[in-house]
Amino acid sequence: MTAAAAADLSQARAAWLTAPNAITLVRTVAAIALALPALVQRSWPLLVAAYLCYWLGDILDGAVARWLCQETRVGAVFDIVADRACTSLCAAALVTLEPSMALPIGIFLAQFMVLDCGLSLTFLRWPLLSPNYFAQVHRAVYLWNWSPVAKAVNTGALVVLVLLAPSPAWPALFAVAVAAVKAISLVAVARLAPPPSR
C-alpha cells in the first residue's frame, strides 16, 4: 500500500470513528429494534419508545458533533440515511396502529424518502459540513428545511396530526404542503450555480 493510500484510509477511518457517528448508530439500531416489534405486535408503547430513540438520538448526535467539533460530511450523510431507516419503520408501525391514516403517512413517506433525501444530500455540491450550514448557500431554503423549527415541523408535526386529527384530511393536506415545500426547494437549489472547481 502506498503512503497516499494509507493516509486516505486513515482519514476515512477518522471520519467514521467519531462519537456522533456512534450515537447515530446506537439510536438507529435502538429505534429499529423497537419499531419492528411495534409493527408486528401493534404496540403503542414500543412505537413511542422507537420514536423517542430516533428523535432524541437525532438531536443528541448533532449536538455532540458540534460540541466536540467532530462534524464531518461522512457523518452528515450517515445521519441522513439513518433518519430514513428510522422513519420508514416507525411510519410502518404507525400505519398498523392507525390504518385510517395510511394516505397522509404514505404521502409523508414518499416526500421524506425521495424529495427530502435528495434535497438533504444537495449540500454535497458545496464545501459544507452538513445541511445545517446551507444558509451560506441559500438562506430561504435553509429556513424552510433545516432551521430548528423546520426540522421539528418536518419530522414531528405529521405524527402529532395523525394522533390528534379526527380524519385523515388535515394530516394529508399538511403532508402535501410539506412535499410542495421540498419540491420548490429542490427547484431553487437546482438553479444555483455550483461553486467554482479548484
Q: Which of 71, 61, 63, 62 is nearest to 29 (CA)?
A: 61
Q: What is the pLDDT of residue 195?
A: 72
pTM (global) more than 0.95: no
Q: What is the pLDDT of residue 155?
A: 79
Q: What is the pLDDT of residue 198?
A: 55
**118 Cβ partners below 8 Å, 6+ apart?**
186
**Residue 19: all three cell numbers together:** 462519537
Q: Tens of pLDDT along 126-181?
A: 999 999 999 999 999 999 999 999 988 887 899 999 999 999 999 999 999 999 99
Q: Tens of pLDDT along 151-161?
A: 888 878 999 99
Is residue 8 predicted with pLDDT exceeding 60?
A: no
Q: What is the pLDDT of residue 86?
A: 97
Least confident of 1-5, 22-26, 78-82, 96-100: 1-5
CB atoms within 10 A of CB 62: 20
Q: What is the pLDDT of residue 156?
A: 87
Domain residue spans in the chain?
1-97, 99-198
Q: What is the pLDDT of residue 73?
A: 96
**109 Cβ partners below 8 Å, 6+ apart?**
87, 88, 91
Q: Tens of pLDDT along 22-77?
A: 999 999 999 999 999 999 999 999 999 999 999 999 999 999 999 999 999 999 99
pLDDT, average across residues 105-122: 97
User: 11 versus 177: which is more confidently predicted?
Assistant: 177
**3 Cβ partners below 8 Å, 6+ apart?**
none
Q: What ranges in the chain are assigned the alpha helix state H?
A: 3-16, 19-41, 44-67, 73-97, 102-110, 117-121, 139-145, 148-152, 158-164, 169-190
Q: Are 16 and 56 in contact (CB under 8 A)?
A: no
User: 8 versus 25: which is more confidently predicted?
Assistant: 25
- DSSP 3-state of 18: coil
Confidence tier at 3 by pLDDT (50, 70, 90) = low
